[in-house]
Amino acid sequence: MRFFLFTIFLTFAALAGRAEVPALLDEALQKTLRDTDRWAFTQTWAEFDGKGKELKRAVVRFDPSKPYAEQYTPLSVDGKPPTEGDFAKYRRRGEKRGERAEKAEREGAETADKNRQTLGELMDIERATLTEEDATTIIYEVPLKKEGNKRFPPEKFQVLARVNKATRGFERIEVKLREAMRSMLVVKIKSGEGAMEFATVDPKFAPALVAVKGGGSASVAFVPIGRRYDLKHEDFKRVKPYADRFGVQIGTMKTIDF
């Protein structure tokens, strides 16, 4: 598995306020919608093998207020200063982000990039159910849609969203593989899970995404493999999104992915 974060976006406005969506979950989603792309931060991404050995690490400054080609600035790669190739790679990442935003604006967010639907797009928010509640939090189980779902078969994965009653925002969204499944004929996924963690950066705003963790084990042609990924966000700064100047409506559901 690999993380695909801050890629392309899906407008959530059509769902906002609908009675079918649990009220607290709906409010958390709307808050996340309003704050999407309004934080610049330093992102640390690390990949580990099945034994815990670090394979890759990159530290990148992300600033959505800058032109797309300048939004990702590598600070270090595998503990070393970034090379010209690294700068070119992240510049291209920003350019692709801009291309996707333009395509979404031109074609409509709901019709663009249907070849790869994210976890967020596949979540059936209107059928979410309350599974657990205490004095401070509520946990919702969110079923997945079947139509067009090639990545997360509904019967194989469980999605849970935890909302804080005080902040009325997300604390955690996680996905777990219920049982082993086969992806293509030679790949058997034995275990897998991912979690997005949210925390209050500024009490005036909704909790921000501060960490993503995930991992899993599989076998390819009966050869076992394992990977784990950690991503952290820190050094937050409030900014105005570059996309705002073009009137692009950015939503939340595309950003929920692993």
What pLDDT, on the 0 to 100 scale, is given for residue 202?
Answer: 94
Instruction: Evaluate whether residue 129 is within a structural domain.
Output: yes
For 26, the domain range is 13-255
- The answer to whether residue 157 sits within a structural domain is yes
Strands 187-199 and 169-177: antiparallel
Residue closest to 86 by CA, chosen among 62, 47, 55, 60: 60
Secondary structure of 106-174 as H, E, C letters: HHCCCCCCCCCCCHHHHECHHHCEEEEECCCEEEEECCECCCCCCCCCCCCEEEEEEEECCCCEEEEEE
Helix (H) or strand (E) segment spanning residue 84: helix 84-107
pLDDT of residue 111: 46
Residue 4 counted as domain residue:
no
In this prediction, residue 93 carries a pLDDT of: 94
Q: For the chain, how many structural domains are there in total?
A: 1
**Do residues 58 and 81 touch, judged by C-beta distance below 8 A?**
no
Q: Per-residue pLDDT tens for 128-148?
A: 999 999 999 999 998 888 776
Let me know if residue 187 belongs to a domain. yes
In a domain, 207, yes or no: yes
d(CA 197, CA 141): 16
Residue 2 in any domain: the answer is no
**What pLDDT score does 102 carry?**
77
pLDDT of residue 130: 94
Q: Which residues of the chain have pLDDT under 70?
A: 1-20, 104-120, 148-151, 154, 179-192, 216-226, 245-258
Examine residue 146 and state whether it is found in any structural domain, yes or no. yes
The answer to the question of residue 236 being in a domain is: yes
Q: Position of tokens 């076992």?
A: 224
